[in-house]
Amino acid sequence: MGNSKRVCILTSFVALGSRVFYKIAMTLAKADYQVMLIAPHDKHDIVNGVRIIALPEPKNRSQRMLKTNFQILKLALKHRAHVYHFNQPELIPVGIILKLMKKGKIIYEVLEDFPNVVERTVWIPVHFRPLIKSLMKFTEQFSSKFFDALVFPTEGLSQNFPKAQRKCVLTNFPIIFHRDLCINIDKDLRSIKKKFDIIHLGTISPFRLEFMIEVGRLIKQKIGNFKWLFLGISKDSIEWARQVMKDELFKNFYFKEQVPYSEVPKYILMSKVGFNYHPYEPRFNVAIPVKIFEYMYFGLPVVSTALPELAKYLNGEEVGFLLKNNDTHLFAQTVVRLISDEKLARKLGTNGRRLILEKYNWDSVSHRLLELYSDLLKEG
């Protein structure tokens, strides 16, 4: 007999996100939980056993934080569940209301060091940032004592919440695709033509993009033409890059906005080197960019900042280069080396893929999610 326990997952971002849907929701659905996902989507649907309760896509940030979150609260109150699971700080008030009005357990998934994120959030006026940072820190710390459990992507981030009732670390390792995507990775690694020299996955701030533009300028000086793909970048960032870059450099950069999660692998497979840069700031020092493990899974050598949480897993592993010195010349030199030395790039990429298949994958940590849910539900 199937599991009769109902789970309601809440997010105001896209329903089919790589973590919220493909990892959290699908793991629970495969364990026979009845999973509802309340999120922006084009229609009500059932996907891989997950029931999606669709909300209209918010037109802007203000609408998402006000109207969409209110719609989430109304629907969450309407649909009774044993566990409510959400992953954004602006949904904390929703979690508190559900805790007061419902009998279900409440899980807050803390994906980033949000108070420190505020310091570089460009749409927040500079003179308001200290106040908003303090308010967010207080809200998160207060609610952490109130909610039944907190989930984190890194151990370092979990240490920011010493008073949480229960903590669970689910490292954001990649999914080992079986039949979830219609690709044959080992075959495609050999057959797909490498269209791009470098790839960067995910959103990026102007500050980090400026660093990468300078790296690109130095690469162009060393080897001439190259192709750098930025996948999942926002329209605002593309326009910003267009304004600050000279045309002769801009033509080497290829910008593409977010694509469905199932389409990401083909772009990685068409690239030679996976790139990541983060400054050494408090919010990044407790983070692990999942893109690094995704590059490795698809056989790419990596060039990245040696972030502390990332170094815990990759120090001593020959999968690429973790650079402690955030120097544009060093990054450019390292990328050029990998582009130029196909044998070395192939060796490091093969090592990285093996490490993901054998050790650092979602299957190796997903049991913690199921154990957390089981323990919470046993408490009644």
Strand partners, 8: 36, 84
Tell me what pLDDT residue 193 has. 85
Residue 293 has pLDDT above 70, yes or no: yes
Q: How far apart are CA 209 and CA 379, in angstroms?
A: 47
Closest to 84 (Cα-Cα) out of 11, 136, 27: 11
Do the bridges between strand 45-47 and strand 50-55 make them parallel or antiparallel, or are there none, so unpaired?
A: antiparallel
Q: How far apart are CA 314 and CA 350, in angstroms?
A: 14
pLDDT band at 180 (very low <50, low <70, confident <90, very high): very low
Tens of pLDDT, residues 103-153: 799 999 999 999 999 988 888 999 999 999 999 999 999 999 999 999 999
Write the CA distances from 308 to 160, 197, 278, 282, integer angstroms. 15, 27, 11, 11
- Domains of the chain, each with CATH number or no CATH: 6-170+365-378 (3.40.50.2000), 185-358 (3.40.50.2000)
Closest to 180 (Cα-Cα) out of 23, 38, 33, 43: 23
The 8 Å CB, 24+ separation contacts for 175-184 are 175/22, 175/23, 175/361, 175/362, 176/297, 176/356, 176/357, 176/361, 176/362, 176/363, 177/265, 180/22, 180/48, 180/262, 181/262, 181/265, 183/265, 183/266
Non-local (6+) Cβ contacts of 334 within 8 A are 303, 321, 323
Non-local (6+) Cβ contacts of 192 within 8 A are 266, 269, 270
Residue 1 has pLDDT above 50, yes or no: no
Tens of pLDDT, residues 304-359: 999 999 999 999 999 999 999 889 999 999 999 999 999 999 999 999 999 999 99
Q: Which amino acid is at 81?
A: A
Q: How far apart are CA 378 and CA 45, in angstroms?
A: 30
Tell me what pLDDT residue 189 has. 60
Question: Which tokens is 48 given?
Answer: 């891989």
State the residue for tokens 């509802």: 36
Closest to 288 (Cα-Cα) out of 210, 211, 175, 174: 174
Write the CA distances from 160 to 107, 126, 138, 285, integer angstroms. 16, 24, 12, 12
pLDDT band at 268 (very low <50, low <70, confident <90, very high): very high
Q: Are 17 and 46 in contact (CB under 8 A)?
A: no
